[in-house]
Amino acid sequence: MKTYDDIISFHGHSCPGLAIGYRVSARALKELGGRSEDEELVAIVENNSCAVDAVQVMTGCTFGKGNLIFRDFGKQVYTFVRRPSGKSVRISVNLIKKTEPADRRKAWEKYLKGDRSPKVMKSVHDRKAAKLRHILEVDDKDLLSVRKTRTAPPPEAHIYTSLTCDECKEQVMEPRARIKEGRTVCIPCFEKEA
């Protein structure tokens, strides 16, 4: 299994979002078996946070292989499906906010308003470090809601014919091509004003 250090190396830094993705992915792999070498495991993510980088490294699910599906719901919810069985697990993150000291809360408010003074930055870094530690150390039952299900696996990735846009001359996959004044064009050229 990949380590948290492997994920940091891919992502570039350690942060609470990355730790969430690590914990979610580790639990999914525990429930469904090993990483995806090809498309045998599918991850459906409902946010585009740092956590998704951890999902890619841990599970082997990627946009390029077509087994990482993004649904822009803004939720810390992740569904993993094993092909061909349809065995799946839906994991939601239940990160309960702890009461913070008033000075740390005030520093966070100042940070959100643009204050980057050394005192505020130290408080912000301390806050993130405490949250990161909590995410990495807390029991699964106190962080994750896990629901085992059966889900029809999404279709495997389809390879489409590439066409050349008659306007910009760049390649575009056939189902994304449009017809504009009798010419085959990509979406940006289709949407461009004449």
| Confidence (pLDDT) at 114 | 96
| In-domain check, residue 105 | no
User: Of 36, 82, 86, 75, which is closest to residue 52 (Cα–Cα)?
Assistant: 75
Band of pLDDT at residue 159, cut at 50, 70 and 90 = confident
| In-domain check, residue 31 | yes
| In-domain check, residue 123 | no
Cα–Cα separations (whole angstroms), residue 184 to 158, 161, 172, 174, 177: 21, 13, 10, 10, 6
| In-domain check, residue 125 | no
| In-domain check, residue 41 | yes
Q: Which CATH number fits the domain that encloses residue 26? A: 3.30.1330.130
| In-domain check, residue 134 | no
User: Of 88, 122, 123, 86, which is closest to residue 104 (Cα–Cα)?
Assistant: 123
Question: Interhelix angle for 51-59 vs 16-32, to 10°?
Answer: 30
Report which secondary-structure segment, H or E, holds 173: strand 171-173
Domain range spanning residue 169?
162-191
Q: Which CATH number fits the domain that encloses residue 173? A: 3.30.60
% of the chain with per-residue pLDDT over 70: 99
Q: Does 68 score more than 80 pLDDT? A: yes
> Is residue 86 located within the same domain as residue 167?
no
Q: Is the dihedral of CA 106, 112, 115, 118 positive or negative?
A: positive
Report which secondary-structure segment, H or E, holds 183: strand 183-185
| In-domain check, residue 101 | no
Average pLDDT over residues 118-130: 93
Which residues make beta-bridge pairs with 162? 173
3-state secondary structure 76-112: CEEEEEECCCCEEEEEEECCCCCCCCHHHHHHHHHHH
pTM as predicted: 0.84
| Confidence (pLDDT) at 194 | 62
- Residue-wise pLDDT for 30-57, tens only, equals 999 999 889 999 999 999 999 999 999 9
Per the structure, how many domains does the chain have?
A: 2
Report the mean per-residue pLDDT for the chain.
94
Q: Does 185 score more than 70 pLDDT? A: yes
